[in-house]
């Protein structure tokens, strides 16, 4: 534990992280927690909490970060994101085992795509999309920006990755942990997107469907099927 102390914040942060691990039935061989305060009083959310964990049974380390007005609020948000990150890591690892064990049985089989709308609302700003993603507990959010462009927001644990169909993501609020990804979405049909995922082995694909010219997120499910997320039509 390093960074800001006082107000029992060190004990509070340690308890929140360890209880989150226990909630998932996990133990860690490495836990680094840092809490810092930005010295500039003009920063709206000066408190930053981060955690870097080596979790037993997971192939990769888990890193999460959160900012808020106070250290305690930052720790609470950190715990919320850690819950999601651990759940995602466990699903991904279990998914890999399921795919490997079922590969022989499913060889040559065609998977179906299950269409869903992850986000059905009016166009929103990047800040509103971040709030919606945090509240939903999801890792990805497809949304229509107020400029009219369809975008993908991904919670990477240590911040957010923002993509847009044209490769020019909208501007994020100053000081927000958003990384713009300047890569245009490929133009694919649903079938082409599914085939690309099957061949590449990737878990997700953000693409533009020429049928409706909207942004879609195709996500591989543990059972071998796919979910297709898109802004509400």
Residues 99 and 209 in one domain: no
Q: Residues 98, 118: one domain? A: no
Residues 118, 222, single domain; the answer is yes
Residue 99 and residue 150 share a domain: no
Q: Are residues 119 and 102 both part of a single domain?
A: no
Asked whether 119 and 138 are in contact (CB, 8 A), the reply is no
Specify whether 94 is located in the same domain as 130.
no
Residue 102 has pLDDT above 70, yes or no: no
Task: For residue 130, give its domain range.
Answer: 113-231
Same domain? For 80 and 15 the reply is yes
Q: Which CATH number covers residue 20?
A: 3.30.160.100
Same domain, 181 and 84: no
Q: What is the dihedral of CA 70, 169, 121, 74, to 10 degrees?
A: -10
Per residue, the 3-state secondary structure of the chain, as one string, reads: CEECCCCCHHHHHHHHHHHHHHHCCCCEEEEEEEEEECCCCCCCCCEEEEEEEEECCCCCCEEEEEEECCHHHHHHHHHHHHHHHHHHHHHHHHHHHHHHHHHHHHCCCCCCEEEEEEECCCCECHHHHHHHHHHHCCCEEEEEECCCCEEEEEECCCCEEEEECCCCCCCCCCCCCEEECCCCCCECCHHHHHHHHHHHCCCEEEEEECCCCEEEEEEECCCCCEEEEEECC
Q: What is the pTM of this model?
A: 0.56
User: In this predicted model, what pLDDT tens digit does every residue of 142-201 receive, in sequence order?
Assistant: 999 999 999 999 888 778 899 999 999 999 988 788 999 999 999 999 889 989 988 888
CB atoms < 10 A from the CB of 45, how many?
A: 16
Query: pLDDT at residue 114 above 60?
Result: no
Q: What is the mean pLDDT of residues 120-144?
A: 81
- What domain count does the chain have? 2
CB contact at 8 A, 192 and 185: no
pLDDT 10s digits, 27-68: 999 999 999 888 888 888 888 999 999 998 887 788 888 888
């Amino acid at each position: 534990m390093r960074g800001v102390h006082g107000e029992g914040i060190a004990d509070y942060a340690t308890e929140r992280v360890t209880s989150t691990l226990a909630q998932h039935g996990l133990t860690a061989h490495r836990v680094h927690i840092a809490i810092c305060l930005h010295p500039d009083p003009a920063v709206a959310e000066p408190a930053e909490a981060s955690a870097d964990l080596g979790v037993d049974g997971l192939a990769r380390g888990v890193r999460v970060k959160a900012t808020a007005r106070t250290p305690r609020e930052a720790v609470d948000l950190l715990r919320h994101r850690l819950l999601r990150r651990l759940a995602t890591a466990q699903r991904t690892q279990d998914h890999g085992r399921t795919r490997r064990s079922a590969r022989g049985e499913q060889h040559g089989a065609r998977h179906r795509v299950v269409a869903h709308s992850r986000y059905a609302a009016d166009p929103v700003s990047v800040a509103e999309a971040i709030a919606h993603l945090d509240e939903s507990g999801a890792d990805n959010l497809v949304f229509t920006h107020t400029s009219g462009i369809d975008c993908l927001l991904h919670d990477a644990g240590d911040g957010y990755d923002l993509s847009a169909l044209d490769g020019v993501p909208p501007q994020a609020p100053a000081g927000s942990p958003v990384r713009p990804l300047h890569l245009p979405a490929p133009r694919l049909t649903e079938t082409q997107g599914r085939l690309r995922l099957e061949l590449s082995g990737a878990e997700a694909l953000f693409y533009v469907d020429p049928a409706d010219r909207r942004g879609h997120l195709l996500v591989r499910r543990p059972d071998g099927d796919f979910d297709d997320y898109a802004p509400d039509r």
